[in-house]
Structure 1
């Protein structure tokens, strides 16, 4: 087995720039541009910001792309990186996607998310292998957290 080449500072900076661009594309519903920036391999996992089970894999369909474009009507986003880590061919970004927009039929509002993103370098491309997002950018009272943990709204 050969050792993976370490990710360079330039490659990490390009990854951060591309993820910033990806966040902006997604909130605007431009799923095709978002998907052009990163590959989603078979071992991709997603922990969505609204909770629920972790999904595995990624299957592209035109119907799914159209639904995403309709759900995310417009908006702006930028990536606020808190920390980054690299090891071999893996890069981890800990960040806040600062964003607002018209999402799910709601008028323009803040949709900022805390995100942990894991990427793998595969040749000249980046694969996103894990995304964990949550809306807890602002602290909530512990009793509200306890209700959420119990599955109450």
Structure 2
């Protein structure tokens, strides 16, 4: 595995983040594998499994953002083998969120899993949630 190959996939995922903060899901969609085992978890709903559900979930997530930009990405950990790579990051940006008129800061913790398919690293799983600061134990109670 050439390190720069996975580096390119990571750079592309950061470009996809920039696009989604502007309301465009197409860049992320292009990074995903064509396989039916792809998954996506985002802050707006449950996990999506399969091409169609992932595409619809990406579109729904992108619809919540406008006029955004990436302000930073913090690499927490990176794991890679010959065929799988996992990246753990905190992504930060500014965007108009929902119907809001103001640009606001957003931050999500992200886990991205890439699989080497026919010589290209493809995204097979992405999970992003807004938990970037400590929370009390009661925050996990479903009530």
Query: Which TM-score band (shorter chain)?
Result: 0.7 to 0.9
8 Å contact from structure 1 (residues 41, 127) kept in 2: no
Q: Which stretches in structure 2 are left out of the alignment for 5+ residues?
A: none
Write out the 4+ residue segments of structure 1 that deviate beyond 3 Å after TM superposition.
Answer: 37-40, 67-70
Query: How high is the TM-score relative to the length of structure 2?
Result: 0.81
Query: How high is the TM-score relative to the length of structure 1?
Result: 0.77
Alignment RMSD (CA, Å): 2.3
Which range is displaced more, 67-76 or 103-112? 67-76
Q: After the TM superposition, which residues 87-102 of structure 1 pair with which residues of structure 2 at under 5 Å, given as runs?
A: 87-102=81-96
Match of 1:151 in 2: 142
SS at match of 2:111: strand
2:127 to 100, 120, 132: 132
2:67 to 70, 74, 91: 74
**Which has the greater radius of gyration?**
1
The answer to which structure has the higher strand fraction is 2
Match of 1:45 in 2: 39
1:56 to 41, 45, 49: 49
**C-alpha distance in structure 1 between counterparts of 2:84 and 2:112, whole Å:** 10
**C-alpha distance in structure 1 between counterparts of 2:35 and 2:129, whole Å:** 22
Q: Which stretches in structure 1 are left out of the alignment for 5+ residues?
A: 1-6
What is the Cα deviation at residue 87 of structure 1? Answer: 1.3
SS at match of 1:105: coil
